[in-house]
Amino acid sequence: MVSERFLDVLGLCKKLYSETGGYFNPLINVRQLGYSADFHSHAFKKEDIDMSVNLAFETIEIVGNQVTLQQ
């Protein structure tokens, strides 16, 4: 179960995801994409990339106050 505030934020995230055609995706962790330092250093490490994580934001299902990420 999640709070009403979390549902509000998730709703805004879903709206931004839709409006940007998927460019805004809160499921993306920049470390999973190989970014291992601050944005100014441009420190990408190819070996850090882990694409096994489900990043399909559209598979988030909200039922009442329960949120699940479908596989």
pLDDT bin (cut points 50, 70, 90) of residue 35 is low
What's 27's DSSP letter?
T
* pLDDT at residue 19, as a whole number: 94
Q: Mean per-residue pLDDT for 28-36?
A: 62
Distance CA 70, CA 62 (A): 11
Q: Mean per-residue pLDDT for 48-59?
A: 70
Contact 35, 44 (CB under 8 A): yes
Q: What is the pTM of this model?
A: 0.64
Q: Count of domains in the chain?
A: 1
Structural domain boundaries, residue 8: 4-69
Cα-based angle 53, 67, 24 (whole degrees, multiple of 5): 55
Cα-based angle 53, 40, 54 (whole degrees, multiple of 5): 5
